[in-house]
Chains A and B, each alone.
Chain A
Amino acid sequence: MANEVYYSGLTSSARVSAVLSQLIATKLADTASLVGHPSILQITAQPGSTAVQVPVISWGADAMAAVAENASVSNTGLTTAAATITLARQALRRQISDLAQATAQGVPLDVTLENIANDMVAAYNKRATTMLTALSSGFSSSVGSTGVDLSVTNFYAAIFQLQLTANSGPFVAVLHNQQINDLMSSLRSESGPGQYLAATQEMLMAKGPGFKGNLFGVDVFGSNTVATANAGADYLGMMFAPNAIGMAVASVSPIVGATTVQPASPVTVEFERDASNGSTIVVGSVLAGVAEIDDAKGVGILSDF
């Protein structure tokens, strides 16, 4: 017998060794985002400077005092301060060749020019979240100890610290996912009225990826962008009251020559054609800055790595 049709005989001609699945899976990525969170002071920078100054005025801080009859009252100055946010360009560039585009299958999530452009918003969200979580190292108040796992006691200590400085909620905690695991482990041994409300799909839709739930009235976000501390021995998350930190974004659109600007986003996405090597460059950029606005409104949360 001869000339049977075997698969092995077809692999170099009538069969290909592999076909890309029509369903493309996305690789696991930490997409937690704090962009646009209402507890973060959002500022649209005005033209004029890369430094955005935020006046901080203590209305209601000065009480009246008793004055004797016929005595003059002296002036009391307003308590004011100013926080500054410095803008800088944040950008991501990708380049895709014509051949790579021509061989795209047309299925969702494939590597195409459009998907690369759309991914720029996610890239901005990740960068902005990284910038915001970096601010945890700047609060002078802190709770927790090096080498000790995060516990409910420390979580409460952070709430108490904010309440002690007369902050009003709602408070937001931004923790590394390891800290959240430790917190949940600690919760297992707790009893009493405290309750952890895990994030539901509706809450995720409303508060964005990274939202883990609500514990004792505090919105808890988890992100692996939370920085380490003490030479990698610990993680340093934070809890803050509204307007403890601020984010300024400068709008640069419309830009002459820019072909696409993502709607409802400060991200400018531009295409650049390099005909000589048959490729298209996609650049997403944003002018943004973050800074601490009021030190007394935030507290660092230190716990073991």
Chain B
Amino acid sequence: MAATFGSAGQGNYSGQAASKPAAMKELVKLEPIAPWWYIHHPARWTYRDGEWLPWLSELRADPGVANVDRSGAMDMAEVVKRRQGWTLIPWDAEAGGYCIAYEGVAGMVHLSKWQRPKLVAGQTRIESDEVGYWEFCRRLVSDGYIQLPDPDFLEVQIDRQAKKVDEWREKAPSSPYHRDALAVEEALLEGMKNAKERLYNPAAAAAAEDALSVEAPVVAPKPRRGGRA
């Protein structure tokens, strides 16, 4: 079949937006971070703003670290963690994946979906969407990736806080610092206990709160450090 060529010399050029030369590419000025997965151990729960939430760790595909082999394969690392009771959270637990790769000056930088690098006055800062991250942790429980904790694990932390409150009560009469902060620590202890009740008996806890019309003590949010984005 004969080829058909379009007519030449019509001047119908097409253009595209200019792109910077490779040397001028904006790269994240952070040290490389290997791809990673969130993992969770049944003992690791943390109290935050009136509720108990799973506290996640990261398992990085970093060769030589925690049984990741020379090529970055995670088989052995995953087996070791599973044996110790950890649960590996798949990337697709979050729509679009929770591990995001950025091109860095010395290699790829893998951050969480809720961390965003930005350049401020020549410094690389990482902006954290903590609300979004904790919402994700909450979803991991409701979607069944993470089971509710054994009450003992929460009780250990509540006991620890109770001891702290007892110590601070003793120190308060002679220490202005402990006296001023005691109310916050007491509220934190009460909040931990209430949150535990809500976690295991949400309906009963809600009914009890309605009946009493008493709001759970809320710990005032701590002001962020000035330098942090």
Q: Do A and B bind each other?
A: yes
List of B residues within 8 angstroms of A189 by Cβ: 175, 177-178
Bound Cα distance from A131 to B47, whole angstroms: 29
Evaluate whether A233 and B64 lie within 8 angstroms (CB atoms) in the complex, with A147-B48, A295-B84 already known.
Answer: no
A134 near B64: Cβ-Cβ < 8 Å: no
A145 near B133: Cβ-Cβ < 8 Å: no
A284-305: which residues lie under 8 A (CB-CB) from chain B? 288-292, 295, 302, 304-305
B64 near A84: Cβ-Cβ < 8 Å: no
Please tell me if A115 contacts chain B, counting CB pairs below 8 Å: no
List of A residues within 8 angstroms of B56 by Cβ: 229-230
- The interface-forming segment of A86-94, A95-103, A262-270, A273-281 is A86-94
A290 near B64: Cβ-Cβ < 8 Å: yes
- The interface-forming segment of A33-41, A61-69, A136-144, A196-204 is A136-144
A157 near B64: Cβ-Cβ < 8 Å: no
Bound Cα distance from A254 to B63, whole angstroms: 24
Please tell me if B148 contacts chain A, counting CB pairs below 8 Å: no
List of B residues within 8 angstroms of A142 by Cβ: 43-44, 55
Bound Cα distance from A289 to B56, whole angstroms: 23
- Counting chain B CB atoms within 10 Å of each CB, the highest count among A51, A138, A153, A236 belongs to A138
B128 near A232: Cβ-Cβ < 8 Å: yes
Please tell me if B160 contacts chain A, counting CB pairs below 8 Å: yes
B62 near A131: Cβ-Cβ < 8 Å: yes
Bound Cα distance from A227 to B59, whole angstroms: 12
List of B residues within 8 angstroms of A87 by Cβ: 64, 70
Partner of A233, one of B47, B70, B130, B167: B130
Minimum distance in angstroms from B37 CB to a CB of chain A:
11
Minimum distance in angstroms from B152 CB to a CB of chain A:
13
Please tell me if B89 contacts chain A, counting CB pairs below 8 Å: no
List of B residues within 8 angstroms of A214 by Cβ: none
B48 near A145: Cβ-Cβ < 8 Å: yes
B167 near A90: Cβ-Cβ < 8 Å: no
Please tell me if A85 contacts chain B, counting CB pairs below 8 Å: yes
Please tell me if A31 contacts chain B, counting CB pairs below 8 Å: no
Bound Cα distance from A305 to B222, whole angstroms: 12
Minimum distance in angstroms from A122 CB to a CB of chain B:
15
Evaluate whether A50 and B128 lie within 8 angstroms (CB atoms) in the complex, with A145-B47, A147-B48 already known.
Answer: no
- Counting chain A CB atoms within 10 Å of each CB, the highest count among B58, B65, B126 belongs to B65
List of A residues within 8 angstroms of B67 by Cβ: 84-86, 291
Evaluate whether A138 and B164 lie within 8 angstroms (CB atoms) in the complex, with A86-B67, A86-B68 already known.
Answer: no
Bound Cα distance from A149 to B48, whole angstroms: 13
Evaluate whether A88 and B128 lie within 8 angstroms (CB atoms) in the complex, with A140-B85, A227-B58, A230-B56 already known.
Answer: no
Please tell me if A177 contacts chain B, counting CB pairs below 8 Å: no
23 A-B pairs with CB atoms under 8 Å apart are A84-B67, A84-B80, A86-B77, A89-B64, A131-B62, A131-B64, A138-B57, A138-B66, A142-B44, A142-B55, A146-B55, A147-B222, A149-B222, A153-B164, A191-B171, A227-B58, A231-B114, A231-B129, A232-B112, A233-B133, A290-B65, A291-B65, A302-B55
